[in-house]
Amino acid sequence: MASHRKSRPAGTRVAGIRTPALATAALTSVALLSQTANASPSSDDKPSLEEVEKKVDDLYRQAESATEKYNAAKEKTAKQRKRVDTLLDDVAKRTQTLNDAREELGRNAAAQYRTGAAAPDTATFLLADTPQDYFDQSQLMDRMTGRQKEAVDDYFTQQSATMKKRQEATRSLETLTESQNDLQTAKTTVQTKLADARELLSKLTAEEKARLAAIEKRKQEEAARKAAELARQQAEAERQRQQEAQQQESNEPPSDSSSSDSSYATKAEKALAFARSQIGKPYVWGATGPDSYDCSGLTQGAWKAAGVDIPRVTYDQVNAGTTVPLSSAQPGDLVFFYDDVTHVGLYIGNGMMIHAPKPGAYVREESIYYDGESSIHSVVRPA
């Protein structure tokens, strides 16, 4: 059962891919369960098997939606904390500079006091032993007055800059606190939804668990059939593309599209090699490896291994590349699911992908139709 829903505003539709508003595995499950004997509620008001499955499915979706919120809040918090640290360091340096300027003012004032630095007048001239003595004293006082003015100007400049930085640091600290609160809220939501799902599943009898497993098996078989059908369609489309390319080569000079395709294929091969090496590792919400992953953590890590940086969360990853029709999907492309874009897998060809499915599962190869054709949102080529 899938577990990937997040409330997002209804929006665009991607060419070649249908994204209905109610793209949930629960609809498929209800249809299958309606054919299953003894699926109705029992006389003791115990929820039916179909009700339990739908509830668990919804809880897993809500958990992954909260996971993506957690990932986004975690990333924002890390960036904000770094900014706060930088600002606080800057404030400390500016404060030291301000203290130095204050000390300079004090030294200048003391120097003026020791030298009797006041405006020269006729009396000063008359008291001087020689005209040269008067000239030297006047020059000294002029220099001291200039130094003091520079020190005063520097002090107030530093004071104003330090106050602005302190205010900026205060605002950043407030933003950091908000991000940390969002992070904790998302974390609590994930933990609560997963605990609720586990509790519901724990109440199932052995017979009910076996029936759920049978339903899941039928869904996987249907998903495999759809993947094989897509593989045939893509193979036929590729044959036609090659024929058209051969015809164009005889009439037109070769373009650089082939070199571009080759470059992408090289990167995609590295991304897929990384993803395959993670197969069998557990899904853990918020994880980015190396021992466990969530869905977007796996795809980010895979493309990073290929030298391509993509964002952390699904609803940012979906915009980090070129959208292509499902019929044109190539190995390495990112396949996104659900109208709120809360799950992602790495396409490997023939209608299959590598993904971190849900809590309690492991990174694995699976049909992109694992939750029904209508759950597929879009395909994006990240490089």
Strand-pairing partners, residue 66, are none
Distances (CA, A) of 103 to 23, 92, 96, 108: 70, 17, 11, 9
Q: Residue type for 117, please?
A: A
Strand 352-355, strand 334-337: pairing: unpaired
Q: Which of 355, 358, 377, 381 is catalytic?
A: 355
What is the distance between the alpha carbons of residues 42 and 342, in angstroms, rounded to a whole number? 35
Q: Which of 295, 329, 352, 353 is catalytic?
A: 295
Q: CB of 344 within 8 A of CB of 378?
A: no
Strand 376-381, strand 343-349: pairing: unpaired
Instruction: List phi, psi (to 5°) of 359.
Output: -55, 135
Is 377 among the catalytic positions? no
Is 295 among the catalytic positions? yes
What is the distance between the alpha carbons of residues 340 and 7, in angstroms, rounded to a whole number? 6
- Tokens 């060419």, residue located: 15
Q: CB of 41 within 8 A of CB of 48?
A: yes
Q: Which of 343, 358, 377, 381 is catalytic?
A: 343
Strand-pairing partners, residue 366, are 353
Count Cα neighbours of 219 within 13 Å in the Cβ-side half-sphere: 24
Q: CB of 303 within 8 A of CB of 354?
A: no
H-state helical runs in the chain: 25-33, 49-115, 122-127, 131-202, 206-251, 257-277, 295-305, 314-317
Burial letters 343-361, b for 16+ CB under 10 A, else e: bbbbbbbbbbbbbbbbbee
**Nearest to 357, CA basis, from 271, 299, 291, 274:** 299
Q: Positive or negative, the Cα torsion across 194, 196, 197, 201?
A: positive
What is the distance between the alpha carbons of residues 277 and 293, in angstroms, rounded to a whole number? 12
Q: Which residues are catalytic?
A: 295, 343, 355
